[in-house]
Amino acid sequence: MKVQPLCSASQCIPWLVVLIIECLAIVILNIITIVVFVKKKRQLQRRSTYLIIHLAIVDLLVGIVSGPLQIEHIMGWSCPLWNYKQRTIWPHNLSFVFLHLFSFASLTNLIAVSLERLHATFCPFKHRFVRKWVYRAIIIAIWLIPVVREAVQIFLRGIVDRVVINTYLYCLFYAVSLFVICVSYILIIIKVRCSRHPQFHSRSKRERKLTGTALIVSLVSLLCFLPAMIYAGWAGNYSTYFINFHIHMAVLVLFLGNSLVNPIIYARRMPGFREGLLQLVYRVPDLSRIAPANLLLRNLRRAKIDGRKTIDEGVTHERNDIEKSL
């Protein structure tokens, strides 16, 4: 069945270019983020950063899978750029699942990060001894929640109205996520402000810095998700879903931007990440991997070599002066 385009090619091409560039940027920046976290094992691969590393992996999948599917779906329905072919029921459902699965997994990951930071703030001693299997269980739950949500949505698509699906599976999911994340960080801020016994050792400072970074990541992500939440609630109750094409595309760009901004925040807020990024770009050696004794010996050797060079240069200058005087 041929779908009648709602917009001209001149309206669609600029948005297509923006979406392609955004997806490429998401993929490149999140690959760099994962590489930096993997290379900086001693500074960045702590239990507290496991969920942040997993968030980078989920955001990478958004750029590889969800973004291109969004482009194919929106541009095929709304623009005369290519013919949108109707698929059979199962390929269509599978495509619809991957359209939103990784974005919802990213939002669920943000909920897990906020709860993990809440536990680290209120129970710092217990948090130090959290086992690795707990984080593995959290990551499984992060994937299980959006998978179940998508399965329920496929099951209900042929039974209930689209308004019901948008209300309970989209808006309710967004609202609960927004509530959990906001309440978690409000409690964290109250705890930090009202604490009578501030801790000044390096571990506490590092945990507090990581909590601040997670707070900024969550706030920026919620700002990216909020327009999509409002638009989904509005569009689900009206039949004019694709009439305002430009609003829909702006909401989509902002929605995908959630997976783009996190590496930028890490580079601004995490010194270890920034150092690893500079080492990756400029090929600077990682001094943290060199033992202090070896580092001292290497510095002494460099000083000795520099001293020899200085002596040789001095002897050469003296010879030249003697030859000139003769």
pLDDT for 204: 66
Check whether 305 has a pLDDT greater than 80. Answer: no
pLDDT for 326: 54
pTM: 0.78
Sorted by where each begins, the domain ranges of the chain are: 9-282, 288-325
Task: List the single range of 7-16, 30-39, 225-234 with lowest mean pLDDT.
Answer: 225-234
Check whether 35 has a pLDDT greater than 70. Answer: yes
Length of the chain equals 326
CB 84 within 8 A of CB 77: yes
pLDDT for 194: 79
pLDDT for 276: 78
CB 214 within 8 A of CB 114: yes
Q: How far apart are CA 174 and CA 168, in angstroms?
A: 10
**Which CATH architecture group holds 9-282?**
Up-down Bundle (1.20)
Q: What share of the chain is helix, strand, coil (3-state, %, to 5)?
A: 85, 0, 15
Rg (CA), the chain: 27
Among residues 209, 281, 210, 206, the alpha carbon closest in space to that of 39 is found at 281
CB 100 within 8 A of CB 259: no
Average pLDDT (207-223) is 83
Average pLDDT (283-300) is 52
Query: DSSP assignment, residue 7?
Result: S
The encoded tokens of residue 212 equal 């601040």
24-63 exposure pattern, b = at least 16 Cβ within 10 A, e = fewer = ebbbebbebbbebbebbeebbeebbbbbbbbbbbbbbbbb
Average pLDDT (119-139) is 87
Check whether 252 has a pLDDT greater than 80. Answer: yes
Mean pLDDT taken over the chain = 77
